[in-house]
């Protein structure tokens, strides 16, 4: 459950409302992020899946971009890196949510079906991001949360998500992203 009045990236959950708080095993993270061909393209260094009573699942990630995989050093976190980090956090959130059966809309999926559909069937339908203060790409945090409601058509499931990024120096960015999962 995100507090819209909290600073970007700061999810405030009362401890007594937390029903899941699980650190993802490094081997699981590695397996889910396997499609990122180069180790230098994997920006998630650790992740925790969490969920509060009455809320949709979420994931908190530690991130680092020692060297950009596509451009010379800009000195700040940018929109392409936002998207790459978002994709990695989304894959981890969905994979763990499927494995732990905590995403009702994907209740018919297995972890194997997630891996089969990960690249060809999970698409970004709408992407909006805001950069509020520059973020140091060498060390920052990201949070992604699924919205509780989903929409389904004959061929796709649509999930709304929110993403937040912060760093220790007050950097902040956020976004609202709708994903389409082709069925």
Spatial neighbors of 29 by CB under 8 A, at least 6 apart, are: 44, 46, 47, 92
pLDDT (tens digit, 9 = 90+) per residue, 30-78?
999 999 977 789 999 999 999 888 788 999 999 999 877 676 666 668 9
More confident residue, 82 or 53: 82
Domain assignment present for 6: no
The SS3 call for residue 155 is coil
pTM for this predicted structure? 0.89
Domain assignment present for 106: yes
**Which residue, among 100, 94, 103, 99, has the nearest Cα to 111 in the 3D structure?**
99
Please answer whether residues 100 and 153 qualify as being in contact, where contact means their C-beta atoms are separated by less than 8 angstroms: no
Number of domains in the chain: 1
Domain assignment present for 39: yes
Domain assignment present for 72: yes
Domain assignment present for 3: no
Give residue 5's pLDDT band: very low, low, confident or very high (50, 70, 90).
very low
Domain that holds residue 26: 15-182
Please answer whether residues 50 and 33 qualify as being in contact, where contact means their C-beta atoms are separated by less than 8 angstroms: no
Please answer whether residues 55 and 113 qualify as being in contact, where contact means their C-beta atoms are separated by less than 8 angstroms: no
Domain assignment present for 1: no
The reported pLDDT for the residue numbered 38 is: 77
Domain assignment present for 9: no
CATH label of the domain that carries residue 65: 3.10.129.30
């Amino acid at each position: 459950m995100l507090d819209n009045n909290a600073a970007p990236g700061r999810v405030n959950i009362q401890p007594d409302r937390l029903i899941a708080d699980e650190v993802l095993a490094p081997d699981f993270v590695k397996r889910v992020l396997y499609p990122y061909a180069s180790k230098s393209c994997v920006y998630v260094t650790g992740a925790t899946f969490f969920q509060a009573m009455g809320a949709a699942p979420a994931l908190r990630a530690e991130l680092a971009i020692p060297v950009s995989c596509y451009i010379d050093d800009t000195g700040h976190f940018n929109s392409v890196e936002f998207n790459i980090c978002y994709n990695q956090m989304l894959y981890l959130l969905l994979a763990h949510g499927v494995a732990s059966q905590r995403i009702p809309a994907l209740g018919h999926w297995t972890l194997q079906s997630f891996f089969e559909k990960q690249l060809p069937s999970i698409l970004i339908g709408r992407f909006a991001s805001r950069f509020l203060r520059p973020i140091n790409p060498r060390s920052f945090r990201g949070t992604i949360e699924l919205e509780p409601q989903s929409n389904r058509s004959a061929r796709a499931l649509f999930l709304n998500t929110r993403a937040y990024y912060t760093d220790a120096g007050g950097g902040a960015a956020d976004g609202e992203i709708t994903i389409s999962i082709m069925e």
